[in-house]
Amino acid sequence: MGNRAVFLDRDGTINEEVGYVNHLERFHLLPRVAQAIRLLNQHEWKAVVITNQSGVARGYFPESLIHQVHQKMKDLLKKDGAHLDGIYYCPHHPDIGIPPYRQKCRCRKPSTGLIEEAVKELDLDPSQSYMVGDRGRDIEFAHQIRAKAILVLTGYGRGEWEYSRDQWKVKPEHVAEDLFEAVQWILYQESNRPNLGKGE
């Protein structure tokens, strides 16, 4: 059996939703996010970011900015004793921009290309895993990879939950105020499961 993971959407889940993080200065961690990821680290869950960054295809910022932003994210988390096990992003858009970024890729959520990469590199078992995100497509994505889905009400979450959820093909297993509450819920669920692995 592979490792269990909590897949994390980025914008609106880890950091403030600002439309597009088109400058390093616009990246700000949401409250309690570092604590949430630290909890995952402590309980031996892989914390893996899966993010669509179509701003590259749209010409809003270069792909190199994504790397800078992710370095900032890692640095901020590290200050609070938390780390990510992997960060995977899709810079594409199916209809906008110029090739190679304009393409019908296999990595844009809810497509599953990024997960396939993560599963291989980190030896993960998505069916033992969770996906946390703030959009309906994150929930659909969770369903595609057969992970359990949690919607957070940060970012677009509250509005999507209130106004768009009737259009969703699938519903989340749980709705949480923020990532910290989502992680607490996951750990609680798992502590109440029959012991499938090692004990606490």
Catalytic residue ranges: 9, 11
The one segment of 19-27, 31-39, 56-64, 101-109 that binds Zn ion by CB under 5 A: 101-109
Q: Could you tell me the smallest distance in angstroms from the CB atom of residue 123 to Mg ion?
A: 26
Q: Could you tell me the smallest distance in angstroms from the CB atom of residue 57 to Zn ion?
A: 8
Give residues with Cβ within 8 angstroms of 161, minimum separation 6: 151, 153, 175
Is residue 136 classed as helix, strand or coil in its secondary structure? helix
- Determine how many CB atoms are found less than 10 A away from the CB of residue 102: 16
> At 79, which helix (H) or strand (E)?
helix 63-79
DSSP per-residue string spanning 183-194: HHHHHHHHHTS-
Q: Does 134 bind Mg ion (CB under 5 A)?
A: yes
Does residue 139 contact residue 157 with C-beta atoms inside 8 Å? no
Q: Cis omega (within 30 of 0) on the bond before 91?
A: no
Q: Does 90 bind Zn ion (CB under 5 A)?
A: yes
Q: Does 12 bind Mg ion (CB under 5 A)?
A: yes
The one segment of 90-98, 120-128, 141-149, 152-160 that binds Zn ion by CB under 5 A: 90-98
Comparison of 110 and 157: residue with beta carbon closer to Zn ion: 110
Q: Does 107 bind Zn ion (CB under 5 A)?
A: yes
Q: Does 50 bind Zn ion (CB under 5 A)?
A: no
Q: Where are the beta strands (DSSP E) in 81-173?
A: 86-90, 130-133, 148-152
134 binds, among Mg ion, Zn ion, none (CB under 5 to 8 A by kind): Mg ion
Q: Which residues bind Zn ion (CB under 5 A)?
A: 90, 92, 105, 107-108
Q: Which residues bind Mg ion (CB under 5 A)?
A: 9, 11-12, 134
